[in-house]
Structure 1
């Protein structure tokens, strides 16, 4: 499956057990060779990524880099747009002309997609040379591209801190980590996995929630992911944020980011930024909604869009009273070993 230099990569990689993998692949229809588990935490990832984990871990980080790291669907896109604008003199014109995925590359996106699924996308777009080339560029490896980039790099990743470059927090770059209530995360990630044909999830939400709590969804274990970052929150090069606080008090979050990033915009400029980031406008912002993926057929038809509702507490529409009590007990049990607490 993979060849890894164990002198450079300290984590053992194994397939999820065969029967579980078969069950997962019935629901995640775009994963053709199964899922792997990495290290003692057994990080769940698609098998294709095993070829590049060593590159990610030993990647050369630059002091000028600005990273946004999250468990998926934790306010990542909103934070990326906020950070990029703060670090680029609030240049809304440049932001509107250049898709966010180009301004803020997603480190491991290509390696999450199975080779067979990439071939399907290319075949579907072969009738149009421009589209075919766009598909190939989108699905091409990001690692070499990042190495060639000049100037300040903005990088997004959903990998846990322990699988990211080993000197990420010591080289001097800025890392923003965002966490969100796991019930809302799971619901949003469920829709995300249905939307992206790169994952091709066809099951229902109760089945997805079962996988989520059993650490069988990509990037889980959820709790280890956020607690790793929480335990490093006092280091000088990382800022830990809660999505719930951003929604409740965006001005306060912007203030935290300004202090962390060293920017100094005035009240009027911040008000304009907040209007730009408001969910009603954000949902219509083509630059952050991956519209090109719609045109290329990478988004499934009939599903909710990439930027969904941008609010908290959505789990009330998905959990019965009994299910919600069980979910709350699961959360309570996993918070016993940490002082992490989600905002009300």
Structure 2
């Protein structure tokens, strides 16, 4: 992109109040410097993020051949990435026998997420304190199009021309299951290293003092863009209830058509019992790099709708219900919280 075409990042990076930062650093050992609020409704990134990093992301180069998956964290992102990649690549199962990340997808905002003081234990830093080569974690930023790009950034923090240029598959999920899944994720990853219990995690989620929150605002923003012809808006719960129908929706969106037998095979490949045993999506390599706690389970966990019922106390559920009702006042976005049948 020519320098004259670059647009300034439209939001200020705001550091949180000292007391909040102390609580973040105490509860999330992966963020000793706390978090920063990075857009108009408080999307959180590492306090060590720089304006230059966010401006680069806001001006990320676009190509109409590229396909993006945009989600809040823990909305079936990896599951959707595998589905999208296979649909777009003519069901090339042999080609899918290579790591989803970093070989097939780019994860663009990794450097903005991690605390530079913490990630320096695992990856070398440059003389100015920036991350050096992160392609082993995030994909090659210079790979040619067609590229497959994953981000948890909200639409307003991505390139403002994204929907006009690229196909975007967006996935939303009911916030209760996001809370439970994200809690386990933050216990697993050293770059989060959450030390508290689920009740404390939910409190932080509601207050927006967790990395890449606020998730409901994220989903409402995308919901209001769902009619754009370059957006395919999915719900995790619809994928769990009838995956084959959602496969056909995404295939049509990407200009592909597959037989019933081909759709059946892809649904079988993506079934959670098979997916969580797929070495090419489960990021076991990160345990070897020291980025995951080896005793905190796996990257791909349960993939269920309604798992929140196994964790929430009645008091926690009431608190989350109030949070959801307050956030969703004035929108017609609604979430399915449990299913009678799941694929």
Structure 1 residue 248: Cα displacement: 0.4
Tell me how far apart the structure 1 counterparts of residues 104 and 89 of structure 2 sit (CA, whole Å).
11
In structure 2, the residue matched to 1:112 is 113
CA contact (8 A) 1:196 1:298 kept: yes
Instruction: Tell me which of 288, 302, 310 is aligned to 2:303.
Output: 310
Tell me how far apart the structure 2 counterparts of residues 213 and 203 of structure 1 sit (CA, whole Å).
15
Give CA deviations for 1:9-58 in whole Å, capped at 9, x if unaligned: 21111101111101110111111322111232122111233341110001
In structure 2, the residue matched to 1:40 is 40
TM-score normalised per structure 2: 0.90
Give CA deviations for 1:102-126 in whole Å, capped at 9, x if unaligned: 2011111233222222221259xxx
Q: CA RMSD in A?
A: 2.0
In structure 1, the residue matched to 2:9 is 9
Structure 1 residue 313: Cα displacement: 0.3
Tell me how far apart the structure 1 counterparts of residues 269 and 39 of structure 2 sit (CA, whole Å).
41
The alignment of Structure 1 onto Structure 2 pairs a total of residues equal to 325
In structure 1, the residue matched to 2:76 is 75
Tell me how far apart the structure 2 counterparts of residues 230 and 320 of structure 1 sit (CA, whole Å).
29
Show structure 1 runs of 5+ residues with no match.
1-5, 124-134
Q: Secondary structure at the match of 1:323?
A: helix
CA contact (8 A) 1:193 1:201 kept: yes
Tell me how far apart the structure 1 counterparts of residues 314 and 31 of structure 2 sit (CA, whole Å).
33
- Give 1:218-233 correspondences, 5 Å limit: 218-233=211-226
In structure 2, the residue matched to 1:321 is 314
Tell me how far apart the structure 1 counterparts of residues 314 and 34 of structure 2 sit (CA, whole Å).
34
Query: Is 1:282 matched with 2:275?
Result: yes
Flag the 1:228–1:202 CA change in 2: closer, same or farther, 3 A.
Answer: same
CA contact (8 A) 2:7 2:55 kept: no
Moved more, 255-264 or 333-342: 333-342
CA contact (8 A) 2:99 2:281 kept: no
CA contact (8 A) 1:111 1:141 kept: no
Instruction: Tell me which of 286, 290, 295 is aligned to 1:297.
Output: 290
Show structure 2 runs of 5+ residues with no match.
1-5, 125-130, 338-343
In structure 2, the residue matched to 1:168 is 162
Superposition misfits of 4+ residues, deviation over 6 angstroms:
none
In structure 2, the residue matched to 1:341 is 334
In structure 1, the residue matched to 2:58 is 57
In structure 2, the residue matched to 1:31 is 31
Structure 1 residue 330: Cα displacement: 2.2
Structure 1 residue 316: Cα displacement: 0.7
Q: Secondary structure at the match of 1:226?
A: helix
In structure 1, the residue matched to 2:101 is 100
Structure 1 residue 89: Cα displacement: 1.3
Flag the 1:41–1:284 CA change in 2: closer, same or farther, 3 A.
Answer: same
